[in-house]
Each structure stands twice: as C-alpha cells, then as structure tokens.
Amino acid sequence: MRLFRKQILFLCDSLILVSVTAVLALFSFRYSWLEDIVSQGLLVTHIALLLACTTAFQLFFRNYDSLWRYAEDREYLFLLASAFLGFLAYEILSRFVLRGGVIPFLLLTSIAGFWVLGMLMVRFSYRFYRRQVLHRKNARQVPVAVIGAGSAGVQLLEELQNNPDSRYCVQCFFDDDPSKIGRRIHNIDVKGSIKDIPARLRAMDIQEIIVAIPSISEHRRHAILKELAGLDRVKITVLPSTLELIGQKPIRTQLRDIQIEDLLEREPVRLDSAPVDSFLGGKVVMVTGGGGSIGSELCRQIAKHAPKKLIVVDIYENNAYDIQQELLYKYRDRLDLCVEIASIRDAGRVRQLFAQYRPEVVFHAAAHKHVPLMENSPQEAVRNNVFGTLNLVRAADEYSVSKFIQISTDKAVNPTSVMGATKRLCEMILQSMKGSSSTDFAAVRFGNVLGSNGSVIPLFKRQIAAGGPVTVTDRRIIRYFMTIPEAAQLVLQAGAMARQNELYVLDMGHAVKIWDLAENLIRLSGATPGVDIKIVETGLRPGEKLYEELLVANRDIIKTVNDKIFVEHQPAITPRELEEKLAILEAALAMDNPGIIRDALHKVVPTFHEPEELNTKQGEVVRIPAQ
C-alpha cells in the first residue's frame, strides 16, 4: 500500500466523485436537463470532464504528494481550492465547449460538497486508523506527561500521536500559562501548572515526564528539574535547549536522559570567539594529548578557527586515530592535519617535532590526571607531568613558540595528591620562564570536567543502568563542574588574551554536593534512592579532598575583560630555584621508591598537604552554600 499510496488515494477520490455524481443524477432524473444529456449520450462525457478538471487541479496543488497523517491547515486549504477551481473549470468548459444540456448550478454545488466531504472522510479515517489501530499494536506504550504546551510540546505530541513506532502515549500537558490551563490540545488536557504536577500525578499512572520547553533559561530549567526530582518512580527526559535541532530530525529522537549539565545551577559559559579567530587563524598549532577528552575538544574547536596547520600529538594511537578521522571527515581538504604518536617524556622526540613543524601556538593537555592511580605510581606522575612538561617548555623556548598554554587543574590549589602537586609544579615551570624567554607561557585552571575520562558522572550512569549501588566516596564531598566545551573555550580564550607567565582561572559558579547529585540522577531516571537503588559511602580515595578550593576566593585574583575569567598572581620563582627543585625530584626518582618521591614533592611544593590534614580542617569550617 505504501508503494501505491498516491494511486490508491486518486482511485478513492475518483470513485467518490463518480458515485456522488451518479447518485445525485438518479435523484434528479425527472428533470428535463438530465433527459437531454442522456438522450444525447453526454452523461459519461460530463462525468469524464468533471473528473479531468478536478484531477488537474489536484495534481497542480500536489495533493497526492502530501503525507496526510501529518496534514495541517495548508493541505486542507489546497484540497478545498483544487475542488473549487476544478468545478469552476468544468462549469466553464461544459457551457462553452460541450453541446447539449448542462448540469444545473445547484446540483453541481451539491456534487462538489458531497465529494469534498467524502475526500475528507477518507483522509480522517486514515489518520484515525494510524493513531488508534496501529498504535494499539504497541501494547507496551509508556504513559507520559509533557511539561510545556507551547510549539515544541505540541510538535512533540503530534509526532508521538502520528508515529506508530512511538513507545509513548501522552496523557496530559502541564504549563504555567493561565490561558492554556483547562484547555485541550489535540484532545489532550492541559491539567495545570508545573507546581500542580505532584498533586495531579497521584491520581494518574504516569511513568515518564518530558520537559519540552527548549527556550527556558538554565536557572528555570534547574528549578523545574529540582521540583521533579521529588517524584517517585517517574523518569524525566528533556528536549535539548536548541531549537535548531528540532528541525533537523524527528523531534522524538531529540529526547535525551537527564544530564548533569541540567542540574548545574548556572548558565553555560559563553566566550567571545572574535579574539580566538585572530589568535589561531593562519597559525601552526600543536596540541599535546590531542586524543584525550580535553585535547580532542581543543582540536575540534581549533579547527573551526582556520589554523594554517594543526598537529595532534598523543602517546595513545587509538584516541589519536579517532580524532584524526573525525576531523578529516568533517573538514577534508580544508584542514591541514598532522597526527604524531610520541611521548612527551622523550626530549629528543619532542625537539624533533618542534624542529619539523615549528609550531607558533602550543596547547599542552598531555598528563596523567587520575588522582588515586597516581598515588600508587608517583614516579609516573612526576616523569610524565613534570619532566614531560619541562621538555615541552624548553623546546618551545628553543624554537621561539609564540604562546604556550598549559592545561592545569583546581587540584593544584593546596594539593593533597601527587597529581595535584605535579600540576602545581608544572605551573612553577612556566613561571620560572618569566623574563628569560620570548615565548608567552600561561596556565589555565578549571574544575572537574563533565564526561571526561575518569569523570564520576559516566560512572554514576553506568551504576544506575545496572541497578546500583551508586558509590560515593563521602557524603560531604562537593565539587565544581564544567563541560568539556566550556573547558576548551576557556583554554582558547585564555590563550588569546595570555601575557607572559599568567595563571588563568574560571568562575565555576555554585558547588555541587556529590551525594545530592547521585540522589537526583537516580530520581530523574525513574527510581527511588535508597529503595530501588542504594547509595553506598565508600570512603575517600587516596589523595582525595572533601572540598576543592574556590578558584575565585583568592584576594590576589584579578578580573579580566571577561567576567568569567580571572588572573591569579602567584609568587615568582627563579630559574635557579626551579633547578634546585627539579634536582631534588630527579634524585628521588633515581631511588625508585614511592615514599621518597612523595616526600620530595612535599619539599618542592610547599602547599602540598596530606589529605587527612586538609580534610579535617575543611570538614570543620566549610559549608555548602544555600542554593
């Protein structure tokens, strides 16, 4: 039927027209005009002419090309227009072309009216069949409520009602617009405002709520999701916050599970791209660790700014291959891309790459960053993070790189871990170059990155999908979060404004309590914390803080032209002081003893504390700010 849909619909319309004309003609047989037409053998000719005229305008308006299950006002108006113009054309031709009797105007009008009514009945019956009969074949439909009775919510409802593959059955709407409450949209009630949801749902078997308000602010979205998190055994899904996606593919495919970004109580960071365009456009840019979560996003965003050449350096060939293929597929010949497999520990290989490509801008994202693993292998963290960075800094200085941007972390602030201490030492390496190099060295610090390798969020999602338990190291632990694109934008923006030996930090907004985060993710997945999925407190991991430092609480912080980016002034360190620190570390590495290496880090990084000391102090004085 799908292959011959047009032909079947044309046949139905033709049969209706012929049948209506024949029946009404029989009822009018006693009139002389019909006797004249029949006696002259013109009845069939009149019917054929009427069918030809109406069909011509049906084809002109492309009525048979429409998918009537998605029909709107435009399709029905075209249907009426084609009927009117077809009968008008018949009236003119029958009077001036055919010889003999003509069908009276009143009868012709009756035929037209019944024909249009018949065509509408066929199309409405088809839509009813698809909505009722075909949908009932899917016996496992999920009863849902839709928040938002605006254009996006109505578009979603129409697709869910019209698509037989939909697993959703919309039961009701909720909307804060008083003019919509109590009304019906496509036979679906608008039950009440958003604050009425908990009371209304008690009497309804709703298994899922779809938030279909793409235009709301992040603050309002957070408030809605926070209220919905109190519902038991109701899963929450949302439409994305960009209307452009809705037009690209079916709206039902845009539904996604709740993500941690939806629960961050701040607007996404938006940075001005104009300075980055002039900073990177036409430049040779190198990204170390370019296959990692941060490095690969840096490569994606750098490619948008038309660099002369992009060099991706990574030790792990699988990740490097993935980003290479992604960029080649997207940009093809518009991007001069080179991928090199190399370790930043190898000073000779690093110098070889700098001599070969002569990069003008370097983004250094290669590092060991997993806190507990580096506690067990401090020698690897020191060799890779510290001495690998030293190799890059020296090569950048030797080959006159214009700007060198180091990716740092909030864990470098009063570090309690080997990883944090090594990253703080990397910042010192950059600071030691002040006044002795033509290269502008700068570091960029940010908090936990959502979705990055080793992030807690993917772990929580896997644990929830498996039915639990969800593991949280400590009930009191809090963190500041940002998305991978936000982190990459910050790095590029800081690179554009960087001056020699500056340290940039980002205003991360409100802290997120990890325990509350786990509870909310469980609730919004349709389960009840502690009942359906348990949360288990496992204890702090080696080197882990209860609370990361507030990045903008330091009195030595100065705001830049962007109110989300700050410059932190650190005490200067001379090249001689750095050499002394590196000598201590080299001697410790030669002993190949984790305890000795850790002691050496305490000597060279004065702010490096044991986690027990800092966590005890923090646990006494730090509180989560009121949300």
Identify the helix (H) or strand (E) that includes residue 563: none
Identify the helix (H) or strand (E) that includes residue 557: strand 557-559
Nearest to 382 by CA among 413, 426, 348: 426
Nearest to 538 by CA among 452, 419, 456: 456
Catalytic residue among 283, 411, 423, 513: 411
Two tokens at 309?
A: 């050449």
Measured CA to CA in angstroms, residue 556 lies from 183, 493, 498, 548, 559 at distances of 58, 21, 17, 18, 10
pLDDT tens readout for residues 363-398: 999 999 888 899 999 999 999 999 999 999 999 999
Place of tokens 């113009």: 85
Query: Where are the CATH 3.40.50.720 domain residues in the chain?
Result: 142-257, 278-452+480-511+542-619
Specify the pLDDT at position 204.
Answer: 84
> Which CATH architecture fits 142-257?
3-Layer(aba) Sandwich (3.40)
Specify the pLDDT at position 268.
Answer: 59
Q: Yes or no: say if 589 and 383 are a contact pair by the CB < 8 Å rule.
A: yes
> Based on the number of CB atoms within 10 Å of its own CB, is 594 exposed (0-12), middle (13-18) or buried (19 or more)?
middle
CA–CA gap between residue 618 and residue 612 (Å, rounded): 10
617 is catalytic: no
Q: Yes or no: say if 86 and 59 are a contact pair by the CB < 8 Å rule.
A: no
SS3 267: coil
Q: Yes or no: say if 291 and 323 are a contact pair by the CB < 8 Å rule.
A: yes
Measured CA to CA in angstroms, residue 410 lies from 140, 421, 445, 588 at distances of 48, 11, 6, 26
CA–CA gap between residue 427 and residue 591 (Å, rounded): 25
pLDDT tens readout for residues 128-184: 776 665 555 555 678 899 998 888 888 888 878 777 667 788 889 999 888 888 888
Nearest to 7 by CA among 84, 59, 71: 59
Nearest to 443 by CA among 491, 393, 371: 491
CATH of 278-452+480-511+542-619, one of 3.90.79.10, 3.40.710.10, 3.40.50.720, 3.20.20.370: 3.40.50.720
Two tokens at 469?
A: 């338990």
Q: Yes or no: say if 478 and 544 are a contact pair by the CB < 8 Å rule.
A: no
CA–CA gap between residue 113 and residue 365 (Å, rounded): 73
For residue 540, the tally of other CB atoms under 10 A from its CB is 18
For residue 372, the tally of other CB atoms under 10 A from its CB is 16
Specify the pLDDT at position 10.
Answer: 82
CA–CA gap between residue 172 and residue 149 (Å, rounded): 10
Peptide bond before residue 372 is cis, with ω within 30 degrees of 0: no
Specify the pLDDT at position 97.
Answer: 73
The dihedral region occupied by 557, where left means phi > 0, alpha psi between -120 and 50, and beta the remainder, is beta
* Under-70 pLDDT residues of the chain: 1-3, 25-43, 67-72, 98-104, 130-140, 164-165, 240-272, 448-455, 480, 500, 507-510, 543-545, 547-556, 561-564, 612-627
pTM for the whole structure? 0.60
